[in-house]
């Protein structure tokens, strides 16, 4: 199911959280804590407390339906880095239950650019269910600058392409 189809399906539901409520604050805090220091151990402990069982997730690299698939994918992603910290800079919401989280991600890869931090900016579009769990998560970020430019041969090729534009 693609983004527009899922967004339309989600839009037919009423907003699950009341803006300014304690439930909203707790849901946003759980999301922020989950990504604040992204590690395999945190995924084991916090995924079920942050995401709905049937959550729809797209990080621009992969689209996933369901917490079990997310667990596998996110653990694999977390195991590929020495560290990954997502710092939330701003949160905006609207009356239809949409949340937009602006963030900066700092990654230190295990396999390339060892010992060097890389940064990228992005935004996540979230919706929560009635239990305050993320049921919809779409990321918007430049994965080329965040990941692909740091892979030795691929990064060189991307640099050459950018130079020609």
| pLDDT reported for residue 145 | 57
| pLDDT reported for residue 159 | 64
CB 86, CB 77: distance < 8 Å: no
Lookup: tokens for 26: 């707790």
Categorize the per-residue pLDDT at 158 as very low, low, confident or very high, splitting at 50, 70 and 90: low
Is 3-164 a CATH 3.10.450.50 domain?
yes
Instruction: Tell me the domain boundaries of the chain.
Output: 3-164
With a CB cutoff of 8 Å and minimum separation 6, the contacts of 82 are 108, 109, 110
Interval 118-142 mean pLDDT: 92
Say if residue 25's pLDDT is above 90.
yes
Q: What is the CB-side half-sphere exposure of residue 86 using CA atoms within 13 A?
A: 22
| pLDDT reported for residue 63 | 94
| pLDDT reported for residue 10 | 80
Average pLDDT over the chain reads: 86
| pLDDT reported for residue 149 | 58
Which residues make beta-bridge pairs with 140? 123
CA Rg value for the chain: 17
Which residues make beta-bridge pairs with 90? 102
Say if residue 14's pLDDT is above 80.
no
CB 136, CB 125: distance < 8 Å: yes
């Amino acid at each position: 199911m693609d983004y527009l189809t899922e967004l339309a399906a989600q839009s037919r539901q009423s907003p699950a959280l009341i803006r300014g409520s304690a439930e909203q604050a707790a849901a946003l805090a759980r999301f922020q804590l989950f990504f604040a220091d992204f590690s395999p151990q945190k995924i084991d402990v916090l995924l079920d407390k942050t995401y709905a069982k049937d959550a729809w997730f797209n990080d621009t690299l992969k689209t996933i339906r369901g917490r079990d698939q997310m667990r596998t994918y996110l653990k694999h992603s977390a195991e590929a880095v020495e560290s990954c910290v997502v710092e939330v800079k701003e949160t905006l919401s609207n009356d239809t239950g949409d949340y937009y989280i602006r963030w900066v991600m700092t990654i230190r890869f295990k396999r390339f650019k060892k010992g060097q931090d890389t940064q990228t900016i992005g935004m996540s579009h979230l919706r929560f269910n009635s239990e305050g769990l993320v049921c919809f998560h779409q990321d918007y970020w430049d994965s080329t600058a965040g990941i692909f430019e740091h892979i030795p041969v691929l990064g060189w090729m991307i640099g050459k392409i950018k130079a020609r534009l």
